[in-house]
Amino acid sequence: MTVTYRAIWQENRSNLEEVAKKTFEDWTQDNHPELDLSKDTSSYATPEGSDILFSARTSIEQNGLSITEFLLREEDDSERRTTTLKVTTGIENWIWVDVERVSENLWSKPDTNSPWLVRSLLHGANAMEAAPRWGVVRLTDGPLAVPPTSVQTNLINLIKSPLRECPVVVFAHDYLNGAEATVERANRVCDSLAGVVAVRMLTRGAEAVFNNIIGNDYGIESGEARIYLPGDMPANQHRLLDREIVSRSPESAAKQFGMLLQPAMANRRPPTIFDASFDLLRKGIGLTEGESLRAANEDLAENEKTIQRLRSDLEKSQNEVIDGIAELEERDTKIAFLQRRVAALLRNESKALEESTRIPEEVSSIAEAISAGRQHLSGVVIPENIKGDLEELDQTLHSRTWGNSVWRGLVALNTYAIQSDRNPGGFHEWCKDAESARVWNFGVNKYAADESDTVKRKENLRKLRVFPIDHEVDSSGSVYMGAHLKIANGLLAPRLYFYDDTWGKTQKIHIGYIGRHLPTERFD
């Protein structure tokens, strides 16, 4: 089970338990009016085959400490989603909301959106001046505007506070699309990450004041959004989304920040008062010895799942380190290539270099890389019906990095295809020998000339690598492609598959697939 969303805050309402009960029940009833919420436990099966369970339980100790837990579990054949609201009152008033998910699809993106009951609770707390807060940060259900005159007091001091635990998301006024677009984007973040972040909007002219105080490395420009994590961190750790990413859709920034914060949300430790509360809750519901043992076994099973998830996260982190090493190697290699390019320029390099100097150096996404490839690269064919998971990959935190890797790969393939005097050894050999800065780096696991014998032999795996192609290449309109560039490692491990027809009728490279790692016997 994976925690996809978690919010924990403290507040001052005297009737918090009553308010939380009504809010959770209203939210549950809106989603499942068939449930009978007059009972502590209620369940039913939907016509579509989903099983829905609601439960509520409360326990009170003599010293006034009270714990109430509400649960809604929604389960179908492929997924189980559990939303839990825990409320402690008496010594201190705390709210804890978790959304947990178990899915048959290991590759599906976790939904980090907060349930609307969180926004409803925060709205009510602020309306009653109950000061909902995460440490020193006041939590609101909407973004707060920061004019130039309030930048220091209302934003800089908040970001730089050594006591801050809550991430702060800042939007800069978008001079191109106007204040309305900025407000909508900020509202989507508040909706998606309610109780998890504080959202601020720099009004017209405020970004210049903000940048002047905080420094350009930590600053933000018109139309951009940035998340400032707690603690003293280098600038590159505070994720910056440029205008192009933010403006893709109103919820684009919310998705990006949600994916960034999901591991931290899952690992956030609740305050110690909940430890005593859980013990009280178990005693209050009068578990028998057998029931206590069963509950302990369930906890043990959940802990084992958590260990497995942490192992998976560790493996993913290790892969990302490998990617980082590869990037460093690529930069080192490019220095040498640039030196060759200077020499080639002095010799008036042929058509390949002339064309390469007119193309963009960078792109901001995989979709932009494909668009630029169709526009600028005459030696590469990218079909309109190209296979892959482009939209999904471009919604990840790595969209810019992966987009530029795809772009460098396309440019390398194009330069190889249009260079008339290259040796006939193929793309790999050309990259090793060419005097061009446009070659593909063959560092840590960056290229495969073909798939393994197992993949080629097993029909269920081989057919996944048959992609559309120009009928001039194959009259059937499709062909097996084994050669591929390895864009990155990690969970999705995107790949770019291509077919080399540079010595054939079209004399071009044909791109068949850009997307997540295709299944193999080891990677499924």
Residue pLDDT, tens place only, 339-358:
555 655 555 445 444 544 56
Does the pLDDT of residue 63 top 70, yes or no?
A: no
Write out the residue limits of the CATH 3.30.530 domain(s) in the chain. Answer: 1-131+271-281
Strand 240-241 to 225-228 pairing:
antiparallel
Calpha distance 517→524 (Å, rounded): 9
For the segment 29-44, the average pLDDT, to the nearest whole number, is 90
How remote is the C-alpha of 491 from its chain's centroid?
Answer: 12
Calpha distance 114→133 (Å, rounded): 17
Beta bridge partners of 134: 137
Residues 199, 201, 203, CA angle at the centre, nearest 5°?
Answer: 170
Give pLDDT, residue 444. Answer: 42
CA distances from 474 to 106, 364, 384, 403 (A): 35, 34, 17, 29
Higher pLDDT, 273 or 327: 273
Per-residue confidence band for 365, with pLDDT thresholds at 50, 70 and 90: confident
Calpha distance 495→493 (Å, rounded): 7
Per-residue confidence band for 423, with pLDDT thresholds at 50, 70 and 90: low
Higher pLDDT, 450 or 437: 450
Strand (E) or helix (H) holding 29: helix 16-31
CB atoms within 10 A of CB 59: 19
Among 72-86, 101-115, 317-331, top mean pLDDT goes to 72-86
Q: Which of 113-122, 237-246, 249-258, 323-332 has the lowest mean pLDDT?
A: 323-332
Higher pLDDT, 432 or 242: 242
Calpha distance 188→221 (Å, rounded): 20
Tell me which DSSP letter residue 56 carries: E
Average pLDDT for the chain: 83
Q: Please state at what angle helix 366-376 crosses helix 399-418, rounded to 10 degrees.
A: 20
Higher pLDDT, 348 or 166: 166
Calpha distance 168→434 (Å, rounded): 48
Closest CA to 190 of 264, 95, 122: 122
Q: Are 171 and 225 in contact (CB under 8 A)?
A: yes
Give pLDDT, residue 399. Answer: 80
CB atoms within 10 A of CB 15: 12
Beta bridge partners of 99: 5, 83
Q: Helix or strand or coil: residue 158?
A: helix
Closest CA to 244 of 221, 266, 267, 215: 221
Give pLDDT, residue 266. Answer: 83
Strand (E) or helix (H) holding 209: helix 206-214
Write out the residue limits of the CATH 3.40.30.10 domain(s) in the chain. Answer: 135-250
Closest CA to 27 of 66, 56, 61: 56
Give the torsion through C-alpha atoms of 486, 489, 491, 495, to 10 deg.
Answer: -10
Q: Please state at what angle helix 252-267 crosses helix 179-192, rounded to 10 degrees.
A: 30
Closest CA to 185 of 240, 123, 247: 247
Per-residue confidence band for 321, with pLDDT thresholds at 50, 70 and 90: low
Higher pLDDT, 89 or 287: 89
For the segment 182-202, the average pLDDT, to the nearest whole number, is 96
For the segment 162-166, the average pLDDT, to the nearest whole number, is 94
Does the pLDDT of residue 466 top 80, yes or no?
A: yes
Strand (E) or helix (H) holding 351: helix 351-356
Tell me which DSSP letter residue 203 carries: -
Per-residue confidence band for 191, with pLDDT thresholds at 50, 70 and 90: very high
Does the pLDDT of residue 46 top 80, yes or no?
A: yes
Q: Which residues contact 513 (CB under 8 A, 6 or more apart)?
A: 386, 387, 388, 465, 467, 481, 484, 495, 496, 497
Give pLDDT, residue 284. Answer: 46
How remote is the C-alpha of 223 from its chain's centroid?
Answer: 20
For the segment 392-402, the average pLDDT, to the nearest whole number, is 79
Give pLDDT, residue 428. Answer: 82
Does the pLDDT of residue 312 top 50, yes or no?
A: yes
CA distances from 29 to 37, 39, 72, 121 (A): 8, 13, 11, 16
CB atoms within 10 A of CB 313: 14
> CATH second-level architecture of 1-131+271-281?
2-Layer Sandwich (3.30)
| CATH code for the structural domain at 135-250 | 3.40.30.10
Q: Are 397 and 256 in contact (CB under 8 A)?
A: yes
Calpha distance 136→158 (Å, rounded): 9
For the segment 314-323, the average pLDDT, to the nearest whole number, is 56
Token pair belonging to 219: 């600053």
pLDDT digits (tens, 9 = 90+) for 241-296: 888 889 888 999 998 899 888 888 888 888 887 766 555 555 544 445 565 566 56
Calpha distance 434→417 (Å, rounded): 12
Closest CA to 192 of 141, 237, 230: 141
Task: Give, rounded to a whole angstrom, the gap between the first and last alpha carbons of the chain.
Answer: 20
